[in-house]
Structure 1
């Protein structure tokens, strides 16, 4: 199942900079691992914002929820999920 996932990150000011650096490094490692597994199939930065638009390919709504809720930056994210279906005019 394909999903378009929009993630906006808002890390509160005043958090320990070392903690934030570790979170960001852990987030990057997790995102790259999910990409290697073929679950996080596209990842685009939104210019001018601390945000991304991503495409996930997972077996179920529950699997997507489990993945998103275990991302290190999840507590600081606003996430919007849109399930996707093949368009009848798509050639690929």
Structure 2
């Protein structure tokens, strides 16, 4: 199953720059593992915000929940999840031309 997530961070204002850097590095390492494991397919920063849109692929919604709650910054995340499926334009393109063009 594929899911689109909108994740907005609301971090504590009293963190030192060192604490913020440490948490960012820990979060990035966990995210990189999710990419390597084939779970996190794409991630895009929302311009001007400490937020992202991301595409996830998991067997179940429960698996996605486990992954997201394991993220180091999860306590500071506001997450919206949307199950996604192929659009009819994608299906038609693939029938006529094969895979969609790369990003």
TM bracket, shorter-chain basis: over 0.9
Runs of 5+ consecutive residues of structure 2 not aligned to the other structure: 95-103
Larger Rg, first or second structure (1 or 2) = 2
Aligned pair count?
A: 92
- For the aligned residues, what is the CA RMSD? 1.1
For residues 12-69 of structure 1, the C-alpha deviation after alignment (integer angstroms, 9 at most, x for no partner) is 1112433222111110001111111111000101110000100001110000000000
Runs of 5+ consecutive residues of structure 1 not aligned to the other structure: none
> Could you tell me the TM-score, scaled by structure 1's length?
0.93
Runs (4 or more) in structure 1 with deviation over 3 Å come to none
- More RCO (CA 8 Å, sep 6+): 1
> Could you tell me the TM-score, scaled by structure 2's length?
0.84
Question: Greater share of helix residues, 1 or 2?
Answer: 2
Q: What is the alpha-carbon distance in structure 1 between the residues aligned to residue 72 and residue 47 of structure 2?
A: 22
